[in-house]
Amino acid sequence: MRPNPLRALKVAGTPILNAWLSIGSSYLAEIVAHGGYHAATIDRQHGMMGFDAALAMLQAISTTAAIPLARPSANDPAELMRLLDAGAYGLICPMISTAADAARFVAACRYPPAGTRSFGPARGLLYGGPDYAARANGEILTLAMIETREGLDNLDAVLATPGLDGVYVGPNDLALALGCAPVPESDDPVMTAAIERVRSAAAAAGKLTGVFCSGGAGAARRVREGFDLVTPGNDATLLKGAIAASLREVGAARA
């Protein structure tokens, strides 16, 4: 089976750069994945695409060195299994608030006896290789999103879930849950303490730590804080920023 290099990067202490794809376009996914990221995540929760578009995006990412990941719309075993069957090499599952949530998530991502994943890897075999079923449990990444007050309260129990590879902070939802403004790199002491609590607890448990960021500067800050995986904004935000910068340059020339 094709190895998952994100695991090796974590062990080596190399920051993992993760793209975030919210626009349902295989062409854009291919362009972004060629940009030098270690991984590219297709956002099925808030992204503007259906499963057919997500499948084409997974295929596009697979033409590059970036590892294809996905965020499902919910902790639904059927959707989790389908995304893995389509070739996702890891899932970032939203709204994990309890140990039971985490166990349900992990079980859907692992073949028996470690879990309850149904056999039918389809495109997983094409991307992963003929021994996919025998080795997938050891390569597929499972990252639980911590983005609720309950998830924060149950953090230690979530981290103790067998087979869970790590956690991923959803700073905007977590901020709303804690009564703070949804600013990814907020200096609000409540948010600063909450995010560091997640990071330090996960690191102490030997788990991968990930976080969504507002952009490159925010991602650099999180790397300095010790996060293993950072997402420097999503495709739509980066595209809007590039358009605005281009138009400012033209406007400056006409002034």
**Residue positions annotated with a catalytic role:** 46
Whole-angstrom distance, CA of residue 156 vs CA of residue 175:
20
CB atoms closer than 10 angstroms to residue 22: 20
Length of the chain, please? Answer: 255
Whole-angstrom distance, CA of residue 118 vs CA of residue 127:
18
Whole-angstrom distance, CA of residue 57 vs CA of residue 64:
12
Residue 21 pairs in a beta bridge with 42
Whole-angstrom distance, CA of residue 87 vs CA of residue 127:
6
Q: Which residues touch 156 (CB under 8 Å, ≥6 apart)?
A: 201
Whole-angstrom distance, CA of residue 208 vs CA of residue 141:
10
**HSE toward the beta carbon, residue 68, CA cutoff 13 A:** 26
- Amino acid code (one letter) for 234: N
